[in-house]
A and B are shown apart, each in its own frame.
Chain A
Amino acid sequence: GESVGLHLPTLSVQEGDNSIINCAYSNSASDYFIWYKQESGKGPQFIIDIRSNMDKRQGQRVTVLLNKTVKHLSLQIAATQPGDSAVYFCAENSSGSRLTFGEGTQLTVNP
């Protein structure tokens, strides 16, 4: 079946640096993508989303980039802070009625 996966399971950065979290997807028909942040013992929180008719979307300190040619999605976090430490999940709308989630990347921000 179709799947969403991540290039790296863990990412460690220094406070103040920029972080880039990557995600590969395999369903070329997916038209909606979303990033969530999950802190330990809590439910996932929405960060940012993007539709397939866009290549880039910016939020507050975050940017999502979509490369449909190579089926790649990335989340960029500017000036990473200790509070950004969490697991980040990407998800795609591959079936029309549900989201398919990737395995997640654990981001650790070192002070």
Chain B
Amino acid sequence: DGGITQSPKYLFRKEGQNVTLSCEQNLNHDAMYWYRQDPGQGLRLIYYSQIVNDFQKGDIAEGYSVSREKKESFPLTVTSAQKNPTAFYLCASSIQGKGEKLFFGSGTQLSVL
């Protein structure tokens, strides 16, 4: 099946620790995105990438980092600089990254120990 796979489903972070969330897609989409969702809230854009080896900051990039070394993969690192990391993280992809329909993964719930 074609789609977007996020892992793990649940992740726990200790104080001062960096953690990396995985996102893989086999849809052959050029663009990939990371969103953060807090309880009862909408989606806020962290980072996005329209092409391999290039990415742009979204609205809440501080405390996060990404890489796009392969078209299929767009991992997100939540660094120790992110003081309030507990949230539901959603990865998405789109064909060209021109504001068209997004295809979402199933999400990763990150919690702080």
Q: Are these two chains actual partners, yes or no?
A: yes
A26 contacts the other chain (Cβ, under 8 Å)?
Answer: no
Answer yes or no: B55 CB below 8 A from chain A CBs. Answer: no
Identity of the chain B residue whose Cβ is nearest the Cβ of A1 in the assembled complex:
B59
Of the candidates B43, B99, B107, the one whose C-beta lies within 8 Å of that of A32 is: B99
Contacts of A94 in B (CB 8 A): 99
Instruction: State whether B97 touches A44 (Cβ < 8 A).
Output: no
Chain B interface size, under 10 / 10 to 19 / 20 to 34 / 35 or more: 20 to 34
Task: Report whether A93 and B105 are in contact in the complex, using a CB–CB cutoff of 8 Å.
Answer: no
**Given A42-B106, A43-B106, does the pair A93, B90 have CB atoms closer than 8 Å?**
no
Contact partner of A89 (CB less than 8 A), chosen from B6, B43, B107, is B43
Alpha-carbon separation in the docked complex, A66 to B19 (Å): 42
Known: A41-B107, A45-B104. A102 touches B99 (CB 8 A): no
A-side interface size class: 20 to 34
Assess A43 versus B99: contact at CB under 8 Å? Given A89-B42, A97-B50, A98-B45. no
- Which residues between 9 and 36 of chain A lie within 8 Å of chain B, taking CB atoms? 32, 34, 36
- Identify A34's interface contact among B41, B42, B48, B101, CB under 8 A: B101
Give the nearest-CB partner of A87 in chain B.
B40
Docked Cα-Cα span, A89 to B102, in Å, equals 13
Collect the chain B residues with CB atoms within 8 Å of residue A103's CB.
41-42
- Min CB gap B81→A, angstroms: 24
Query: Is A49's CB under 8 angstroms from B42's CB?
Result: no
Does A99 lie at the interface of the complex (its beta carbon under 8 Å from any beta carbon of B)?
yes
Cβ-neighbour of A97 out of B92, B98, B105 (below 8 A): B98
- A95 within 8 Å of B (CB atoms): yes
Complex CA distance for A102 and B45, rounded to whole angstroms: 12
Residue A96 lies at the interface, judged by CB distance under 8 Å to chain B:
yes
Question: Which residues of chain A have C-beta atoms less than 8 A from B103's C-beta?
Answer: 46
- The reply to whether A99 and B99 contact each other, CB–CB distance below 8 Å, is yes
Q: Considering the complex of A and B, which 6 residue pairs feature the smallest CB-CB distances, nearest first?
A: A93-B99, A43-B104, A101-B43, A103-B42, A101-B42, A43-B106
Knowing that A41-B88, A46-B102 are A-B contacts, what are 8 other residue pairs whose CB atoms are under 8 Å apart, sorted by A's residue number? A43-B106, A45-B104, A94-B99, A95-B99, A96-B99, A97-B48, A97-B50, A98-B97
